[in-house]
Amino acid sequence: MEHTGEYGYALALFFDENGVTYSMVSGADIKGANPSKKGKNDKQDAAMIARHAHEKRDSLTPSRLNIRPLYELRCLLNERRMYVRQRAQWKAQRSEKRLFSTKRRDARVKKAIKTLSATIRDIEEEILSVIAENKDILRNFELLMSIPGIGLINAVNFIVATANFTAFNSARRYASHICVAPFAVVSGTSINKGTHTSKVGRHDLKTELRATVLAVLKADPEMRKYFDRRRTEGKHFNVVANNIMFKLICRVFAVIRRGTAFVETHKYLHKTA
C-alpha cells in the first residue's frame, strides 16, 4: 500500500489490529518506477500500486509499525510545532513593536507567550508518557538520548520518521530523506553544478536537527575538533554543519543497530606527553 499520510495511518492501524499482513511503500518509490504515466485517477493509481507490488514481491518486506503510538507521537509533534511557531510570532511582535507598545498590550503579549510555553511543556510531558507506555519505542528513545546533542524532539523525530527504525535500514538513506545527503549535478561536459543537498525531502526534520549543531559543538570535543579543522581549511559553515548532521545520523543508526548506549570514547583516551 502507498504511504498516504492520515489515510495511510488509519488503514495501517486497521491492519495491525486485525492481523493483516501489509507493506507500506513511499509514493515517490511507486511513481519513480512509473515515470511515463500520463493522467491520474483512482483506477490508474490502484493499477500502478498493484503492478509495483507484483514486480517487487520478492524484495518487499511486511511492515511492523505498531502504528498507534507512532501516530500519537506524530500528532503531538505537529501540534507542538504549531504552538512553537505561534510563540515565535508573539516574541517577534513584542521585540519589533516595543517602542510603540502600551503597558496593556505588553501584558497581553507576555500572557500569550506564557500560555503557549505552558502548553508546549504539557505536550512534551504527554510525549514522554506515550513513549513510556511502549517498550520498543522507550528502548530506542533511551539509546538516542545517550548521544550528545540529541534531545527530546529530535529523538522523537527519528523514531516517528523511521517508524521506530523499521522504514530505513541505513543512515545514508535517512540522510537523503531529510535533505542532508549531497548529490552531484553533472551531465557530459557542459553541465557541472557541483555537489549540493537536494531540496526534495523533509526539510522540517533537517531544520530541527540543524538546531542541535551548536549544542553538539559545546558538548562533544571530537565534533568541536572536527568543526575547527574543517573551518580552518576554508569550508563554509553550512557545509561543515551539514557534515556534523550526517555524523549525528550515523551515530543514531549505530546505537540502534548495536543496541547499546553511545560511548564518548574521548573520555577514555590517554593523554600523551
Task: Note whether 154 and 178 are within 8 A (CB).
Answer: no
Residue 195, strand partner residues? 184
Q: 182 in helix, strand or coil?
A: strand
Residue 1 lies in a domain: no
Question: What domain range includes position 107?
Answer: 67-161
Q: Is pLDDT at 165 greater than 80 in this prediction?
A: yes
Q: Is pLDDT at 154 greater than 90 in this prediction?
A: yes
Higher pLDDT, 197 or 187: 197
Q: Both 196 and 246 in a single domain?
A: yes
Higher pLDDT, 140 or 106: 140
DSSP 193: E
Q: Both 112 and 156 in a single domain?
A: yes
- pLDDT value at position 124? 96
- pLDDT value at position 190? 60
Burial class (CB within 10 angstroms; exposed 0-12, middle 13-18, buried 19+) of 239: middle
C-alpha cell of residue 216: 553538539
Compute the distance between CA of residue 171 and CA of residue 110 in angstroms, rounded to an integer. 42
Q: Both 72 and 140 in a single domain?
A: yes
Q: How many domains does the chain have?
A: 3
172-196: average pLDDT: 76
Assign 4 a pLDDT band (cuts: 50, 70, 90).
low
Task: Note whether 181 and 246 are within 8 A (CB).
Answer: yes
Assign 12 a pLDDT band (cuts: 50, 70, 90).
confident
Compute the distance between CA of residue 105 and CA of residue 2 in angstroms, rounded to an integer. 49
21-41: average pLDDT: 69
Of 161, 179, 206, the domain-final residue: 161
> How confident is the prediction for the chain on average, in pLDDT?
84
Q: Is pLDDT at 9 greater than 80 in this prediction?
A: no
Of 31, 55, 79, the domain-final residue: 55
- pLDDT value at position 257? 92
Residue 222 lies in a domain: yes
Q: Is pLDDT at 88 greater than 90 in this prediction?
A: yes
Q: Is pLDDT at 251 greater than 50 in this prediction?
A: yes
Q: Both 104 and 138 in a single domain?
A: yes
- What percent of the chain is modeled with pLDDT above 90? 36
- pLDDT value at position 273? 44
Q: Both 81 and 29 in a single domain?
A: no
192-213: average pLDDT: 82
Assign 269 a pLDDT band (cuts: 50, 70, 90).
low
DSSP 201: S
Q: Both 40 and 71 in a single domain?
A: no
- What percent of the chain is modeled with pLDDT above 70? 86
**Closest by Cα among 147, 132, 4 to 72:** 132
pTM above 0.85, yes or no: no
Task: Note whether 174 and 253 are within 8 A (CB).
Answer: yes
Residue 73 lies in a domain: yes
Residue 17 lies in a domain: yes
Q: Is pLDDT at 5 greater than 70 in this prediction?
A: no
